[in-house]
A = this chain, B = another copy of it.
Amino acid sequence: MNNYEYHVPTDIRFGRDQISCLDKEIGKFGNKVLMVYGGGSIKLSGLYDKVYKILNDFEIYELPGIEPNPKLSSVKMGAAICKQYGIEAVLAVGGGSSIDAAKHIACAAFYDGDPWDLVLDRSLVTRALPIFTVLTISATGSEMNPGAVISNEKTKEKLEINHPLLYPTLSVCDPSYQFTLPARQTAAGTVDILSHIMEQYFQPNDHAYITDRLSEVAMKTCIKYGPIAIAEPDNYEARSNLMWTGSLALNHLFTFGKGGAWSVHPIEHELSAFYDITHGVGLAILTPAWMKHVLSDETAGRFAMYARNVWDVSQEDDMTAAKAGILRTQRFFRELGMPDKLSEVGIDDSRLSEMAAEAIRTSGLSTRAYVKLNASDVENIYRECL
């Protein structure tokens, strides 16, 4: 196993009604709270009112309207509110987008320049407000990690800011808040969770046995419970297993003793940045194409291991098993109701080379990925999905 530093200080409060701890826990830091959230779904579900009831004695400021791919302009607004009113804690109520925006706001509150500087140079992050989250969609794992992906609408960049100060102090993970989630969002979230595990699993290190095995059963959990949560939105067992798997998927457990750069996420980030599509949908379209593109005699062993341990594929020959595993992956995404062509989400071939160049420029694809890719590889992967 490779050397590894593992330090995940987030306090996870998992289960029904855990939200009731918020007044006590946020209260340790102050009583001026910035509440960050997206559209109106938390008002419809009653969660908005619940937060106000619990934080009855707090001074709550609001930043609503966080976009599915959170924008820098929202971060700027949030940081301005923090500075103006002396906010003492940021509370995200929503999915990864609201949480990511909250994280960037939490450190931008202490920075005088353009918050985008912090994305480009993490050494400028020196302080952050405590971050609290109430998770409503299992997908990004942002509730238990120090990363946030922010879109700069001017430069068309979608980049990650990642800093130990951005671990949420406490996350409320109540599976019942996802009972009202539409099927398509559940599906996209499941794909995102699976993809996070895959990005860490497909790395050239066979010595981290425990990490590979943990990853495989986490993938199996998504495969088992994704369809159940779609068919029975209020199935608590399905929601709770997906929820905890989603948090684990990106809290370093599945990359412990491994390493390397991710592959499909940076390729997808350009789709979201250029066309503002749902991240999980992009991943569902791209993942099988990426798998086929990088499958070779050299990678067949790991793909066969994936096929056997995650999909119970029984073929003895590695290449045959690997192909069967990729086919099963593609079929599963279709069964979840995901599109499998870019044309289905309104993307044509007009900007493929531009996106490919950006994917290479802003990631470790060409230098540290499982299979190193250049811009023409990435363009070919896009093209195979047209």
A275 contacts partner chain B, Cβ-Cβ < 8 Å: no
Closest chain-B Cβ to A236's Cβ sits at a distance in Å of: 8
Closest chain-B Cβ to A144's Cβ sits at a distance in Å of: 9
Closest chain-B Cβ to A184's Cβ sits at a distance in Å of: 23
Measured CB to CB, the nearest residue on chain B to A221 is B210
> Is B3 in contact with A12, judged by CB distance below 8 angstroms?
no
> Is B14 in contact with A5, judged by CB distance below 8 angstroms?
yes
Q: Which residues of B contact A210 (CB under 8 A)?
A: 217-218, 221, 241, 244-245, 248
Size category of the binding interface on chain A: 35 or more
A88 contacts partner chain B, Cβ-Cβ < 8 Å: no
> Is A209 in contact with B241, judged by CB distance below 8 angstroms?
yes
> Is B3 in contact with A237, judged by CB distance below 8 angstroms?
no
Residue from B18, B214, B257 in contact with A214 in the complex, judged by beta carbons closer than 8 Å: B214
Q: Which residues of B contact A13 (CB under 8 A)?
A: 5
1-38 of chain A: CB within 8 A of chain B: 1-18
A216 contacts partner chain B, Cβ-Cβ < 8 Å: yes
Q: Which residues of B contact A5 (CB under 8 A)?
A: 11-14
> Is B240 in contact with A207, judged by CB distance below 8 angstroms?
yes
Residue from B17, B216, B244 in contact with A1 in the complex, judged by beta carbons closer than 8 Å: B244
204-258 of chain A: CB within 8 A of chain B: 207-211, 213-214, 216-218, 220-221, 224-225, 236-237, 240-241, 244-245, 248, 253, 256-257
Beyond known contacts A1-B14, A3-B18: 6 more, CB 8 A cutoff: A1-B240, A7-B11, A207-B236, A207-B240, A213-B221, A253-B253
A sample of 20 inter-chain contacts (CB < 8 A) reads: A1-B236, A1-B240, A1-B244, A3-B16, A5-B11, A5-B12, A5-B13, A6-B14, A7-B10, A7-B12, A15-B257, A207-B236, A210-B218, A210-B241, A210-B244, A210-B248, A211-B244, A244-B256, A244-B257, A253-B253
